[in-house]
Amino acid sequence: MHGIPPPDFYKANWYAAVDKENSKIGVGVIVRDSGGLIIASLCSSISLSPDPLLGEAVAALGASSFYSELGLNQIMLEGDSLAVIQAVQHKDESWSPTGLVIRDIKIVLSKVQTWSIHYISRKFNVIAHALAKFALTCSEEHIFMEEYLPCIQYLL
């Protein structure tokens, strides 16, 4: 379900890049409005066990929390980790590290008026991917409002 969100909705795509050598996860999030315009983007890196599933869950939590911080109430989340998406959609709980992050995502989303989460093919998630890769080179979080990092200019 890639594309532009319905009127009055915002869409966030997220991606996690894993640097196994340095035990680091790069998180990239891009938020668009119903007109397809970029309203915000986020790059951050976290020192974490280089587990790809945990990284994707942390990135989805980052996207959910970013929405919350922006004060958005009608949201669509899109990511290319089917396992994370299914875990958020189901009621089952797990006490694994990834399960605890999924629980946090559900808590954040429970405070949002209307939300949905969808799978998107990796080939349609290239902007969030580029942001996550860039995040691996950053030592601090970067948030851009109504503008974007030069590292994604060629993708727009």
Output the domain CATH number for residue 102. 3.30.420.10
Task: Determine, yes or no, domain membership for 3.
Answer: no
| pLDDT (average), residues 88-93 | 88
Q: Is residue 61 part of a domain?
A: yes
Examine residue 1 and state whether it is found in any structural domain, yes or no: no
Taking the C-alpha atoms of residue 146 and residue 59, their distance in angstroms, rounded to an integer, is 21
Number of domains in the chain: 1
Residue 64's closest CA among 56, 4, 2? 56
Q: What is the pLDDT of residues 104-119, one digit of tens each?
A: 999 999 998 899 999 9
pTM: 0.88
Is 21 among the domain residues?
yes
State residue 1's pLDDT score: 47
- Enclosing domain of residue 111: 10-155
**How many angstroms separate the CA atoms of 38 and 7, rounded?**
15
Residue at 45 is within a domain: yes
pLDDT digits (tens, 9 = 90+) for 22-59: 999 999 999 999 888 889 999 999 998 878 899 999 99
